[in-house]
Amino acid sequence: MAAPTRFPSGVATAARNSTLWNVGIPDPTAYHVYFNDFDTYVVGDWTITTTEAGAGSATEALTDVDGGCLLITNDAADNDLDFFQKVGESFLMEAGKPAFFKARFKVSDATQSDFVIGLQITDITPLDVTDGIYFMKDDGDALLDVYCRKNATTGSTSATGIATVVSDTFLTVGWYYDGKARLAYFVNDVQLGTLDASSTYLPDTDLTVSFGIQNGEAVAKTMTLDYVLAGKKR
């Protein structure tokens, strides 16, 4: 393996003569960033919506696995669900300010389940929100879709069937908004296409990290989160 490139004086990204321009690290304030690798889990950080029509109850807990993961397990009735939304909507999409999202996760059943993951408004029905940029899969197939949605009734653009989800197999999804009118979407770090992110479709309300799963039959389904990353230029 080649030796790493070394920068003994550091690497600076701050503007000349600004507060941090002589500091030998990239300016950590340039982007607002949220990252969770799920080595820790604090219930109070999340708005959790559950439906528990079965005999048991949904559970959410860290699981023993390399890299840290959060395991979400539904109750066992059809349409039982468990959705997470981070407390505090702290991401507002704006022209001129690039933004991004990336997550790695898996689900126990790629066909008999619905799931969603991305940035959305806080809502008790994440599978049918009015505003957000997110990935979703419907019950009855294993095909992944991506949405850029503003006010639902006035602006929504999407791409359907962009990838096939495989049961109990980790999947990485992501998107990048260029701050202009283009949203690139990725699966397993491969760009698969773009969506129109002009003012007609770009959400104009505060969003938050959102994910979760709903049963597509009377069998408990699980979603395992490895990490979630979101960021936006200040």
Residue 135 to residues 85, 145, 169: CA-CA distances in angstroms?
Answer: 14, 6, 16
Which residue in this structure is represented by tokens 């528990």? Answer: 52
Cβ neighbors of 12 (< 8 A, separation 6 or more) are: 20, 21, 22, 23, 24, 25, 26, 27
Please name which of 167, 164, 172, 168 lies closest in space to residue 191, comparing C-alpha atoms.
172
Q: Where does the pLDDT of residue 1 fall: very low under 50, low under 70, confident under 90, or very high at 90 and above?
A: confident
pLDDT at 67: 94
pLDDT (tens digit per residue) in 68-81: 999 999 999 999 99
Task: Name the architecture of domain 32-233.
Answer: Sandwich (2.60)
- Which residues on neighbouring strands pair with residue 224, listed in sequence order? 71, 106
Q: What is the residue extent of each domain of the chain? A: 32-233
Q: Where does the pLDDT of residue 92 fall: very low under 50, low under 70, confident under 90, or very high at 90 and above?
A: very high
What whole-number distance in Å separates Cα of residue 66 and Cα of residue 11? 31
pLDDT (tens digit per residue) in 202-229: 999 999 999 999 999 999 999 999 999 9
Q: Where does the pLDDT of residue 123 fall: very low under 50, low under 70, confident under 90, or very high at 90 and above?
A: very high
The H-or-E segment that residue 225 falls in is strand 222-233
Tokens of 64: 């023993």
Examine the pLDDT at 50 and tell me if it is beyond 90. Answer: yes
Examine the pLDDT at 232 and tell me if it is beyond 90. Answer: yes
Tokens of 142: 């294993």
Residue 45 to residues 76, 87, 101, 227: CA-CA distances in angstroms?
Answer: 25, 6, 19, 15
pLDDT at 185: 98
Strand order in the sheet with 113-120: 46-51, 81-86, 208-215, 113-120, 132-137, 143-150, 155-164
pLDDT at 54: 78
Amino acid at 36: N
pLDDT at 55: 75
Query: Residue 221, SS3?
Result: coil
